[in-house]
């Protein structure tokens, strides 16, 4: 099983400005002071291996889109995609390339919810214009079709939903059921968020488990219900979890904004004995340095509160691939 | 979880002992609520939670502190956290709870 992150930012796409890039270049030049490089490859190697990630790279700015590659795509297993944020555009282009190499043109989407940042990529999803593509949109919500059609009405977008050429289906999934879809078994869990959201647990034939749990607030006055969340995260190889705010923000100024914290995500993963956590749905006002600091603090909190096997804490970024 | 309460210069000083995790969070929450009620009846109308005996605290304990602070605010009680060990000091910083609560190195400084 392979997990590819196409969009990891929360709420709103962001992009680096000229001054942000200049700042990274300045830090890189300082770090390289006194050194010379024989060629671009040597310089690339320095950037990749010796600079910190916030200087040499970026966590990216595309909104939620995660691909789960399971089974054997070379032998017809379909695409599995969580959410349609702005990161979906990049996935769609890459999927067309892979389809040209023989990948099945079947796309199973699993929608956490229907807020704008989680559906805004669909009008730019090139495979939707492919008459040979089959797109199945799975959601816990019954109004998924309405949400996708509405954003392509003329007042918002020039291309109507009905002009799309792919065969598009909508399927409503129920909590408590287990579905075999493509190369994975899928279960879902309802989460606390405006208009509700759903987390998904994917299990492949080898028993590898990925949990996708974004836009989920774990309320202070419902802490007794967290045992169910820990069970849903139970023994997962990877939990992708909303960690948008600090715990203090999530219980004060940003309470009821529908999001979680790095601290609660780690506690839930510890409780469920998960193996890896990917910090996800990054706050759009955070710089790369802010996210890197949050990641380092999360790793430290995990160490401080660990009672069993270590939980590996990753920080998702646009382009990250995690092999399970 | 061990818990003791004393009154110092009109303020209630509550002293939990051990660790606050999933197993002890409920007891911690209940003790905190009772301590806020006690502080509301005290002359200083202040609750100081003495962290000296606490090994560490998970998010459940931290959120219990927030619930207690809401109860305290409604009752006109001020709340402070005193004498965290190094681990607790780190957890308060990582969670940014050191921005929500006054944190002091001694009981006297909190009074």
Domain ranges of chain A: 2-14+58-323
Pick the CATH number of A2-14+58-323 from 3.30.230.70, 3.20.20.10, 3.60.15.10, 3.40.50.720: 3.60.15.10
CB A107 within 8 A of CB A135: yes
Model pLDDT, residue A236? 98
Let me know if A40 is exposed, middle or buried by CB neighbors in 10 A (0-12, 13-18, 19+).
exposed
Q: Do A220 and B63 touch (CB under 8 A)?
A: yes
In degrees, to the nearest 5, what angle opens at C-alpha A190 toward C-alphas A167 and A318? Answer: 65
pLDDT less than 70: residues of chain A: none
Question: Could you tell me whether strands A209-213 and A197-204 are parallel, antiparallel, or unpaired per DSSP bridges?
Answer: antiparallel
Residues of A in contact with B94 (CB under 8 A): 262-263, 297-298, 300-301
- Alpha-carbon span A124 to A280, nearest angstrom: 23
B92 touches chain A (CB under 8 A): no
Is pLDDT at B23 greater than 90 in this prediction? no
From chain A, pick out residues whose CB is under 8 angstroms from the CB of B56.
304-305
Query: Is B63 an interface residue toward A (CB < 8 Å)?
Result: yes
> CB distance A271–B22 less than 8 Å?
yes
Q: Extract long-range pairs of A92-100: CB within 8 Å, 24+ residues apart.
A: A92/A121, A92/A124, A92/A125, A92/A126, A92/A127, A92/A128, A93/A126, A95/A126, A95/A127, A96/A126, A96/A127, A96/A130, A98/A73, A99/A127, A99/A130, A99/A133
B93 pLDDT exceeds 90? yes
Q: B2-110 — its CATH code? A: 3.30.750.24
Percent of chain B scoring above 70 in pLDDT = 100
The rounded distance, in Å, linking the Cα atoms of A140 and A282 is: 24
């Amino acid at each position: 099983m392979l997990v590819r992150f196409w969009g990891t930012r929360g709420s709103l796409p962001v992009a680096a400005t000229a001054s942000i890039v200049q700042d990274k270049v300045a830090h890189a030049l300082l770090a390289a002071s006194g050194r010379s490089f024989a060629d671009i490859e040597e310089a690339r190697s320095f950037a990749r291996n010796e600079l910190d990630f916030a200087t040499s790279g970026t966590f990216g700015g595309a909104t939620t889109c995660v691909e789960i590659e399971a089974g054997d795509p070379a032998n017809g297993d379909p695409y599995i995609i969580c959410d349609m944020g702005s990161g979906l555009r990049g996935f769609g282009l890459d999927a067309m390339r892979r389809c040209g190499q023989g990948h099945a043109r079947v796309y199973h989407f699993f929608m956490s919810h229907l807020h704008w940042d989680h559906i805004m990529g669909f009008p730019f999803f090139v495979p939707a214009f492919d008459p040979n593509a089959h797109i199945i949109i799975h959601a816990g919500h019954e109004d998924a079709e309405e949400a996708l059609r509405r954003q392509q009405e003329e007042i918002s977008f020039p291309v109507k939903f009905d002009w799309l050429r792919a065969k598009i289906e909508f399927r409503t999934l129920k909590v408590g059921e287990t579905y075999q879809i493509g190369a994975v078994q899928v279960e879902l869990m309802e989460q606390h968020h405006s208009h509700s959201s759903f987390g998904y647990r994917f299990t492949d034939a080898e028993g590898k488990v990925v949990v996708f749990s974004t836009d989920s607030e774990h309320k202070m006055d419902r802490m007794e219900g967290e045992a169910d969340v820990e069970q849903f995260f139970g023994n997962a190889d990877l939990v992708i979890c909303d960690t948008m705010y600090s715990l203090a923000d999530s219980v004060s100024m940003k309470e009821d904004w529908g999001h979680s914290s790095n601290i609660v995500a780690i506690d839930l993963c510890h409780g469920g004995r998960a193996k890896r956590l990917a910090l996800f749905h990054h706050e759009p006002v955070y710089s790369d340095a802010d996210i890197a600091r949050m990641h380092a603090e999360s790793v430290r909190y995990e160490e401080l509160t660990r009672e069993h096997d270590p939980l590996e804490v990753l920080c998702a970024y646009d382009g990250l691939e995690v092999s399970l | 979880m061990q818990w003791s309460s004393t009154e110092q210069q009109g303020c209630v000083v509550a002293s939990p002992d051990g660790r606050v995790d999933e197993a002890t969070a409920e007891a911690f929450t209940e003790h905190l609520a009772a301590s806020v009620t006690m502080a509301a009846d005290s002359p200083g109308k202040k609750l100081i939670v003495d962290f000296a005996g606490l090994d560490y605290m998970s998010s459940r304990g931290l959120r219990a502190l927030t619930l207690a602070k809401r109860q305290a605010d409604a009752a006109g009680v001020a709340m402070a956290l005193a004498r965290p060990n190094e681990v607790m000091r780190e957890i308060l910083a990582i969670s940014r709870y050191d921005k929500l609560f006054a944190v002091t190195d001694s009981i006297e400084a909190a009074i």
